[in-house]
Copies of this chain bind each other. A is one copy, B any other.
Amino acid sequence: MARIPASEQPPAGAALRADAERNRERVLEAARHVFAEQGLDASTNAIARRAGVGVATLFRRFPTREDLIAAAFAEKMHAYAEAVDDALAAPDAWHGFCAYLERVCQMQADDRGFADVLTLTFPTAKAFEEQRKEIGEKLTKLLDSAKATGRLRPDFAHQDVPLILMANAGVITATKDAAPDAWRRLVGYLLQAFAAEAAQPLPDPPSRAQMYRALKRLAPTPHGARSSG
């Protein structure tokens, strides 16, 4: 007798058996560790091995890679959201903005997987994407406030934020081992460029739609997706 109506699948909230829940947690912990070290294209086997479970267990709990990624990075996404909240709460919006960018880039530097997550979308991970949308709206407010102080240049575009994250991801990928603080230099330059005092004409930013499409590019499938195109 099922303690849950269980029409077909455990209705998304159904409690797992205790051992299963334990294993789920172990997989997530392993995934977080491995993704942080190797990036999003780490192999499923490596994660299962580290978790000390069979691959089948991993796949049963997280049928698609997006499921695993979304679950593994849920906490970091919250921290990411917190960063905007803190920035909005800062007494000076410009300083809030600067601190926000540094904090987020630091998060990228600390976690290669997260660096990738911030430059991608995961359309099937709904909670994830809703959160991203919410963060985006708060970010708009932050930018407006920062511009209102007269310190952030008025032509700074919302799309410039993911652009920075992409650039930062590039630096981190290349320098993580040999020069782990190199990204600070990049961000330092950029923040000075974002100051209103420095403002000179710029090329147009990519449109929001373009940027969204860029974020929607294929997530780094460990292998195989390469040949499908």
Contact = CB atoms under 8 A, between A and B. Distances in A.
Contact of A171 (B166, B178, B181, B185): B166
Please classify the interface of chain A as helix (H, G, I), strand (E, B), loop, or mixed, using the class held by over half of its residues. Answer: helix
Interface string A196-229: 0111101111110011111111000001001000
Contact of A214 (B38, B175, B214, B215): B175
B178 A203 contact: no
Copies of the protein in its oligomer: 2
Given A177-B214, A210-B178, A185 B166 contact: no
Interface of A: 38, 43, 119, 160, 163-164, 166-171, 173-175, 177-179, 181-182, 184-186, 188-190, 192-195, 197-200, 202-207, 210-217, 223, 226
25 contacts: A38-B226, A163-B185, A164-B186, A166-B173, A166-B175, A167-B167, A170-B170, A174-B215, A174-B217, A175-B211, A177-B214, A178-B210, A178-B211, A178-B214, A178-B216, A182-B210, A184-B203, A185-B202, A185-B203, A185-B205, A190-B190, A192-B198, A193-B193, A198-B198, A223-B223
Given A178-B206, A182-B205, 20 more contacts: A43-B226, A119-B174, A160-B185, A163-B186, A164-B186, A166-B170, A169-B170, A169-B174, A170-B171, A175-B210, A177-B214, A178-B216, A181-B203, A182-B206, A184-B203, A185-B204, A192-B200, A193-B193, A195-B200, A197-B198
